[in-house]
A = this chain, B = another copy of it.
Amino acid sequence: MITTIQHGPVCELRLSRPPVNALSPDLIAALTESVRSAPKQGARAIVLSGTPGRFSGGLDLPLLLTLDRAGMAELLHGLYGLLGTLACSPIPIVAAITGHAPAGGTVLTLFCDWRIVAEGDWKLGVNEVAVGLTLPPVLHQALALIVGRRQAERLAVTAVLIGPAEAARIGLVDEVVPAPEVVPRAIGQCQTFLALPPQTMSETRSEARKDLTALFAKSFDKEIDELLTMWWRPETQTALRAILEQLSNRKQSSAARL
């Protein structure tokens, strides 16, 4: 589910769960483990990439709808664990956004040190509300740290998906580059971090990110309980199942066109 590629001191973790790198319990566990073990195995920076055209489609909703409350609780604890692992990584992480990154796809990048997106008609944003999911406080806060308070309000409440140019304009990504250059440029940005005096860079990085890491200094039990209650309320279940039907129809019509 994760393809690991070494580029000298830079470890690329490429999401590799076809067709859209959707976040399943297994992918979440694998990514958490990979991010945690990379520095132990000598990596000094990480590139988090996806496949061409797909960074990550976010949570694997069809799979999640088969889970019971215990299963969803486990998934959410795993997801929060992954976000905390990204946020508190001792080494820099550069997101190489190789394609679509709606909802959970964009969310992963918020906890990284740098965001580079491929040119193209890709969609980024936190459109959780459109599929019936209240954006949890920790995600809202992390988003506001990147794009500022007003753009966080706009993106979260309207569930708008935006392209690379607008993402760059509002600061949701740092750079837009041609698709073949996304991963090389991400490696280059890692090398920029690594060319600096390491202890000095690391201390300054900790200071700069202490508001982000502080988000994970508390228990998320209550926040996760509220998400579980939300998940099974009628409005959310109805919205989720409507999305599922859309996805299924889209697949069938794609098949019919063949």
* Interface residues in chain A, defined as those with a beta carbon under 8 Å from any beta carbon in chain B: 92, 113-114, 128-130, 132-135, 137, 140, 145-154, 156-159, 171, 174, 192-193, 196-201, 203-205, 207-209, 211, 230, 233, 235-236, 238-239
Contact = CB atoms under 8 A, between A and B. Distances in A.
Contacts of A130: 196-197
B200 A239 contact: yes
Given A140-B208, A203-B134, A196 B159 contact: yes
Given A113-B153, A134-B203, A153-B209, 10 more contacts: A113-B157, A128-B204, A130-B197, A132-B200, A135-B204, A149-B211, A154-B174, A157-B208, A158-B192, A197-B239
Q: How many copies does the complex hold?
A: 3
Contacts of A92: 157
B150 A233 contact: no
Contact of A201 (B157, B193, B201): B157
Contact of A134 (B114, B140, B204, B230): B204
A192 B193 CA distance: 41
A150 B150 contact: no
Given A113-B157, A157-B193, A193-B158, A152 B200 contact: no
* A135, A157, A171 — most chain B CB neighbours (10 Å): A157
Contact of A157 (B158, B204, B239): B204
Contacts of A146: 150
A140 to B, nearest CB: 5
A220 to B, nearest CB: 15
A137 to B, nearest CB: 6
Nearest to A238: B197
A200 B150 contact: no
Contacts of A151: 171
A130 B198 CA distance: 10
B158 A207 contact: no
A209 to B, nearest CB: 7
A146 B154 CA distance: 11
Contacts of A209: 153
Contact of A149 (B145, B198, B200, B230): B145
16 contacts: A128-B200, A128-B204, A129-B200, A129-B201, A130-B196, A132-B200, A148-B148, A148-B171, A154-B174, A156-B204, A157-B205, A157-B208, A197-B235, A197-B236, A197-B239, A200-B239
